[in-house]
Amino acid sequence: MPMPTLLDIAAQTNADLVPLIDETWTAHPEISGIDIRTGNRVGNVGAAMPLAGISYRTLIRTSLGNSGGSFRDAGAGVAPHKHGYENRVVSTYIMHPRWECDKAIADRHPKGWQYYLSQEAAATLEGEMQALGKQFYYGVGTGGNAKGFPGLIAAYDSANMVVDAGGTTDNVASSVWFVKFGERDVQWVWGQDGSLDMSEVRVESILDPADNTKKFDGYVQTMNAYPGLQVGSLRSICRIKKLTTDPGKGLTENLIAQALMKYATGIVPDAMFMGRRSLMQLRQSRTATNATGTEAPFPVEAFNIPILTTDSILDTEPLAL
């Protein structure tokens, strides 16, 4: 495992101890619900529910026995209706990051070992949030973590709630996801009563990375959480897929309109999530209509649905995904 070195201390010291400038931070609005361009929270985006245990069953109505009306002739009867239901299990998964450093090195930090460990904790949490953002879309497959929870890619109706942009170049594709959040739709689930527990800092013997027969004292801290994802209805999610760099195969207003038409009347997604390349493609597809001919600005919505830009959606998806 890579460990902090004296160079890490020197890098912070030589910065005259100004606040940390973080070049690793990325946007993950699917968790926070925050539009990074405005700083505002968007509706119910990122909705989450604490769970007493680690899993639960949901009862889903999948079909209606009759939607044509129960009219009858005088003196004639009607058949009873039977609706379709199924149980789905929502599970949470263990997320247990650990960080450690040489005690002698951390103790030499100008602000003390507590400050150094706090920076490590913040960096670890940011890394976990980035991982959760990718897991939200890709789940246990390409782009996600096989030990984590299933993502939208495994939960959406890939036959009916999808628009194919028609890209043909493999491994340069991207997607746009339309999501409705809420208790009956999509929401984050956090097991063990929503705990996000940080352990006390402890001193342990750590193996020398270069020679596992040798040990030294180090500060160690861990975090424990149980994240999961509920998709209550297949009609809560729609995807535009195969957005590539091929001519005419990028994101357009027309593709967005097609996706929105997949939703049942009265069901409106809370947001659409896309990467920066897709955002640029959408901007380029729009025509400036102002009197001065100024270029079109970056879109913040389409058909009154907020656009949330995320770094969690890849621009390297295989076409088969």
Alpha helices in the chain, H assignment, sequence order:
6-13, 29-32, 103-106, 113-138, 152-155, 191-194, 253-260, 276-285
What is residue 19's predicted lDDT score, i.e. its pLDDT?
52
What is residue 137's predicted lDDT score, i.e. its pLDDT?
97
pLDDT, one tens digit per residue, over 32-62 is 888 777 778 888 888 888 878 776 566 555 5
Q: Report percent pLDDT > 70 for the chain.
A: 83
- Bridge partner list, 241: 164
Query: DSSP 3-state assignment of 191?
Result: helix
Give the whole-angstrom CA distance, residue 61 versus residue 38: 38
Average pLDDT over residues 66-85: 71
pLDDT, one tens digit per residue, over 262-310 is 999 989 999 999 999 999 999 999 876 666 767 778 889 999 999 999 9
Give the whole-angstrom CA distance, residue 270 versus residue 251: 19
Domain ranges of the chain: 26-62+86-287+297-309
Question: Which residues of 24-160 form beta strands (DSSP E)?
Answer: 48-50, 55-63, 84-91, 98-102
What is residue 135's predicted lDDT score, i.e. its pLDDT?
95
Give the whole-angstrom CA distance, residue 224 versus residue 292: 55
